[in-house]
Chains A and B, each alone.
Chain A
Amino acid sequence: DTGVSQDPRHKITKRGQNVTFRCDPISEHNRLYWYRQTLGQGPEFLTYFQNEAQLEKSRLLSDRFSAERPKGSFSTLEIQRTEQGDSAMYLCASSPPLHTGELFFGEGSRLTVL
């Protein structure tokens, strides 16, 4: 399968712990997005990379959140000192250089903070 891959699919952690999610985009897709989705809501934009450069960040992205894409391929999203309000599905999406508008989403990483 050559779709967007996210790992882990599920993560349960205790409040105050750090968690890291990984996203492997479709190869040759230079654009990578992170979204957060809570129950009954649409995806909310968190951040966007073009190659290794983080070009846009949402105001939703507090300083406890950090995202990287060191070599312009895979990306990581780290949440430090997790809070119960961080419980959500974290979706990664990618799109190719000739961007028609379509986002190719992974299946998401579900975070539960106890």
Chain B
Amino acid sequence: GENVEQHPSTLSVQEGDSAVIKCTYSDSASNYFPWYKQELGKGPQLIIDIRSNVGEKKDQRIAVTLNKTAKHFSLHITETQPEDSAVYFCAASPEPNTGNQFYFGTGTSLTVIP
């Protein structure tokens, strides 16, 4: 089955700096890669996703890049703010439209220092 690895496990940045979180996956059949943000006491919430036919996607301060050949994808957060502090999870799925399971990474705890 799919194996998703995520690094780093913890990340501290100064407010205004950029944060980068990296994930690798093992199954070449995976073609959908979402990123979820989980705040304390809440369920994960989708913040951005990318499909395998796209190399990069951006939404305001958040961007995701995908290198399908190398089987890795990254989350980039620019101009970080204290409210970005949370745990971030990457995930991979072979085909979400069929309802297949999603494989999550182990999470990155991001702290933005004011």
Determine the distance from Cα of A40 to Cα of B106 in the docked complex, in whole angstroms: 7
A102 in contact with B34 (CB, 8 Å): yes
Most chain A beta-carbon contacts within 10 A, residue among B4, B9, B46, B105: B46
Please tell me which stretch of B12-20, B62-70, B71-79, B88-96 contacts chain A, meaning at least 4 of its Cβ atoms lie within 8 angstroms of it: B88-96
Asked if A74 lies at the interface with its beta carbon under 8 angstroms from chain B, I say no
Asked if A44 lies at the interface with its beta carbon under 8 angstroms from chain B, I say yes
Asked if B114 lies at the interface with its beta carbon under 8 angstroms from chain A, I say no
A101 in contact with B99 (CB, 8 Å): no
| A42: contacting residue among B42, B46, B91, B97, CB under 8 A | B91
Instruction: Say whether, besides A102-B46, A105-B45, A40 and B107 are in contact (CB < 8 Å).
Output: yes
Inter-chain contacts of A105 with B (CB < 8 A) = 36, 43-45
Instruction: Say whether, besides A42-B89, A101-B49, A107 and B41 are in contact (CB < 8 Å).
Output: yes
- Chain B proximity of A78: nearest CB distance (Å): 20
Asked if A25 lies at the interface with its beta carbon under 8 angstroms from chain B, I say no
Query: Using a CB-CB cutoff of 8 Å, which residues 49-105 of chain A contact chain B?
Result: 50, 55-56, 58, 91, 93, 95, 99-103, 105
Given contacts A40-B107, A56-B100, 8 further A-B contacts (CB under 8 A): A4-B43, A42-B106, A45-B102, A91-B43, A100-B96, A101-B34, A101-B97, A105-B43
Asked if B60 lies at the interface with its beta carbon under 8 angstroms from chain A, I say no
Determine the distance from Cα of A105 to Cα of B43 in the docked complex, in whole angstroms: 5
In the complex, what residue of chain A is closest to B51 when comparing beta carbons?
A: A101
Determine the distance from Cα of A93 to Cα of B42 in the docked complex, in whole angstroms: 12
B106 in contact with A107 (CB, 8 Å): no
Determine the distance from Cα of A31 to Cα of B74 in the docked complex, in whole angstroms: 28
Determine the distance from Cα of A10 to Cα of B61 in the docked complex, in whole angstroms: 35
Determine the distance from Cα of A93 to Cα of B93 in the docked complex, in whole angstroms: 15
Determine the distance from Cα of A93 to Cα of B96 in the docked complex, in whole angstroms: 13
- Chain B proximity of A32: nearest CB distance (Å): 10
- Chain A proximity of B17: nearest CB distance (Å): 25
